Amino acid sequence: MSRIGKKPVSVPSGVNASVEGQTVTAKGPKGELTFVVNDEVLVKLEDGAIKVDPRDESKDARSKWGMSRTQIVNILHGVKDGFEKRLEITGVGYRASMQGKNLQLALGFSHDVVYEVPQGITVAVPRPTEIVVTGIDKQQVGQVAAEIREYRGPEPYKGKGVRYAGEVIVRKEGKKK
């Protein structure tokens, strides 16, 4: 039994949620998101809360039960408050800046890396060594942050590169004489 799936999802104030068949729609101050629940999971709106149950006791239905509830929680949180990922840039000469709607990164290559920010995502550069990715879709925010980090991930010897804020890099010892 899923411990997460058993709990009903309460709809926060300021958010309108509706369930039509297998589609859950949430409208809030930040925008609107929809999630289509798998057919093996039953979803219904009761007393201001969304209840998620498996249709049967098969392993497949039970495995999608908790994930479906978590996705619904994410869309409700996203339309109310949004999501944010912070990235830090470490290294001499490594920096970021915004050029219109594109993110320009100087990461030690012979050229600057230009990242086109997708629709629905906002990227801000409060300092040249800090990037803030915000949006209402948790999966898309995480994907954009991962794509930016992928250009120059943190290396274990000097710790240079792009890392998530608060990420601990296990450092290696260099060569010995």
Mean pLDDT of 111-124: 93
Q: How far is CA 79 from the centre of its chain?
A: 13
Mean pLDDT of 30-56: 88
Q: How far is CA 50 from the centre of its chain?
A: 22
- β-bridge mates for residue 71, sequence order: none
Does pLDDT of 4 surpass 80?
no
The pLDDT of residue 1? 59
Does pLDDT of 67 surpass 70?
yes
The pLDDT of residue 174? 86
Amino acid 34 reads T
CA dist 175 and 74 (Å) reads 46
**For the chain, what is the mean pLDDT?**
90
Topology annotation, domain 83-164: Outer Surface Protein A; domain 3 (3.90.930)
Parse the chain into domains and list their residue ranges. 3-80, 83-164
Task: From residue 24, give the alpha-carbon distance in Å to each of 12, 19, 78, 169.
Answer: 15, 5, 14, 39
CA dist 129 and 159 (Å) reads 14
The pLDDT of residue 14? 87
Task: Looking at 101-177, list the stretches that DSSP marks H as alpha helix, in order from N- to C-terminal side.
Answer: 138-151
Mean pLDDT of 137-164: 93
Mean pLDDT of 124-149: 94
Mean pLDDT of 126-151: 94
More confident residue, 85 or 8: 85
Q: Which CATH class is domain 3-80?
A: alpha beta
Helices (H) and strands (E) in the chain, counts: 3, 13
Q: Are strands 121-127 and 113-116 parallel, antiparallel or unpaired?
A: unpaired
Mean pLDDT of 32-57: 88
Q: State pTM to two decimals.
A: 0.87
The DSSP 8-state label assigned to residue 65 in this structure reads: H
**3-80 and 83-164 agree in CATH topology:** yes
Report the percentage of the chain scoring pLDDT > 90: 58
Mean pLDDT of 133-140: 94
Does pLDDT of 115 surpass 90?
yes
More confident residue, 4 or 127: 127
The pLDDT of residue 2? 64
